[in-house]
Amino acid sequence: MARTTIKRRVKHAPLYLVISTAMLVACGSDDNSSSSSKTTDLPQLSAAEGVNYSGNCSSLLGTLSFENTSISSVTTVAAGELSVGDTSIGEHCLVSGTMNERTSDVDGKSYAIGFEMRLPKDWNGRFFYQANGGNDGSVVTATGSYGGAPYVNALSMGFAVISSDAGHSAGQEFGYDPQARLDYGYQAVGFLTPMAKSIIRQVYNKVPDRSYIGGCSNGGRHTLVAAKRYVDEYDGYLASAPGYRLPRATTARLGWAQAYASIDGTDPANLSTAFNATERLMVANAVLAQCDSLDGAEDGMVQDFQACQTTFNLQEDVPTCSSERDGTCLTQQQKDVISSIYEGVKTASGEAVYSPFPYDPAMGGGDSAFWQYQAAYWFESSSTAMIFTSPPVELQEFNPANFNTVEYALTTDLDDILAKTEATTDLYTESAMSFMTPPNPEDMSALKNRGAKIMVFHGINDQAFSVDDTAAWYESLEQGTGDTEQFARFYAVPGMGHCSGGQSTDQFDMLSSLVAWVEQGEAPESIVANARGSGNPVGVNADLPASWSADRSRPLCPYPKVARYNGSGDIEDAANFSCAE
């Protein structure tokens, strides 16, 4: 398959519980003849077989055991007591506990890896590791979520699911403890995985036939890291918006803050004054005017996002203010700063900090403003200063209340930060770019050769982590591993923001597709995605334009293909679009 180089110019049908290749639409191939292809030259993993657990959940307390693990409770969750959207979860056992309890020699605080496992009475023979987002720090409900807004999740499909806090409580100050850093980066997954499989064996009298891991944002990062560090433990990997270069992305956000603050008239405490909501919407409309028809349909969506980056030109396609800013133009200074942000922030020495970000017509709404203007102050400063640099900033009594996030974001030298993300000390013996990133991510040979599969999706309007960064990683697989389509698929989701939302069709079920690929050899070509309009059981997407139908559908296409209108038929229906380069 030809690779595309990223260039820059300076009525929904619920899928419910059935894993089936019927949900793969026929518009996936250029000739529309097939929606999936059989992979035959790599090992084919067998399908999982389920069993029932007829025992009493509470009787398991005191019998379940694993080294360095404390099981605090085992309870029964009745059918229907837990729901996701309008999907009721069946009866299951809830196991809660901790691993590796200890007291830090550095900050004197207590640490442990907290977790919960949900074990269905009607188990499908599969295990799902729910990799969570943000800085972790809490044990969220183990439903088996992984980003997007699917009708089903792993738990409702019958998977045994684990969720964890990755070894620390909420907040960034855990970064002063060297082991907590490593647990957050990758070791919590390494500790929890064999424990979870052992608990499953003790309950069902068999280990999982097939194991999967997935998550969004930092959870996507966890997933890509596991694909390298724990490749023998998992058969399927599902990563959404994988911030796999997270220390670099957080540093870039500080660069955004510094760039926005440099615009005349900007209030440093409110960076949105540099590029306000009216101006952002004006630019978004200019992007739409230039790029909407590139895929053959003027429908408020830009499918061919890479072509859009060479079609839209901020300097030429947006008016330059001749006097005061009034929402209909940008000053030349604004244009220069915004261009520098979207083209990729650079340090004073000229080093690219992170990836470029594409212009997208959804940039005017959704969660764009938060990532553009607030994230640098809310948590990127603290994360960078306390977790990702070695040594971390000196912090009185390890109390983040004593840390000025605005001052740090606006005054810290980016060259210095990048150097410290690569540095080690006698205490912090592994750098952030080591413990947070997958080693040699372009080489997935071990995953490929054992018959495992990886699927990745990323919103084009995600302004936390760039879809361009994920596309560059995916392209690198061809050189670093080869035969990429035999084991990996990447889907760029037009208009979608960070993990979900945006002016997008963000409701789809990739987990069923991944299972069908891993266990049946049915490689997904395209996947139907729906909008979440009025009446959606999972929740209405407030970012949807009023002109869209409530259940607009589109095919999500394997990169570098994009959905193109066939020239006739209802533009609200995915059946009238085909995937093509």
β 160-164/126-130 pair status: parallel
Q: Which amino acid is residue 245, in one-letter code? A: R
β 236-240/453-459 pair status: parallel
- Strand ranges (DSSP E) for 435-581? 453-459, 488-493, 522-524, 527-530, 553-556, 562-565, 577-580
Q: Are 489 and 36 in contact (CB under 8 A)?
A: no
Q: Are 162 and 130 in contact (CB under 8 A)?
A: yes
Report helix, strand or coil for 470. helix
β 126-130/210-216 pair status: parallel
For 72, 91, 118, 196, 200, the CA distances from 54, given in Å and listed in that order, are: 22, 11, 15, 20, 14
Q: Give the count of beta carbons closer than 10 Å to the beta carbon of residue 566.
A: 14
The question of whether 83 is a catalytic residue gets the answer no
Peptide bond into 242 cis (omega under 30): no
Q: Are 101 and 42 in contact (CB under 8 A)?
A: no
* Cα(457)–Cα(224) distance, integer angstroms: 12
Question: Which of 145, 164, 217, 381 is labelled catalytic?
Answer: 217
The question of whether 383 is a catalytic residue gets the answer no
Check residue 292 and report its DSSP letter. G
3-class SS string, 191-250: HHHHHHHHHHHHHHCCCCCEEEEEEECHHHHHHHHHHHHCCCCCCEEEEECCCCCHHHHH
Q: Which residue has the tokens 């990996």?
A: 488
* Cα(112)–Cα(103) distance, integer angstroms: 9
* Cα(389)–Cα(175) distance, integer angstroms: 9
* Cα(466)–Cα(243) distance, integer angstroms: 8
Question: Which of 136, 235, 462, 551 is labelled catalytic?
Answer: 462
Q: What is the CA radius of gyration of the chain?
A: 24
Q: Which amino acid is residue 360, in one-letter code? A: D
> CA 568, 572, 577 angle in degrees (round to 5)?
50
Question: Which of 498, 526, 543, 578 is labelled catalytic?
Answer: 498
Q: Which residue has the tokens 């964890």?
A: 164
The question of whether 222 is a catalytic residue gets the answer no
Q: Which residue has the tokens 């796999």?
A: 244
Phi-psi region of 56 (alpha: psi -120 to 50; beta: other; left: phi over 0): beta
Q: Are 35 and 517 in contact (CB under 8 A)?
A: no
- Provide the annotated active-site residues: 217, 462, 498
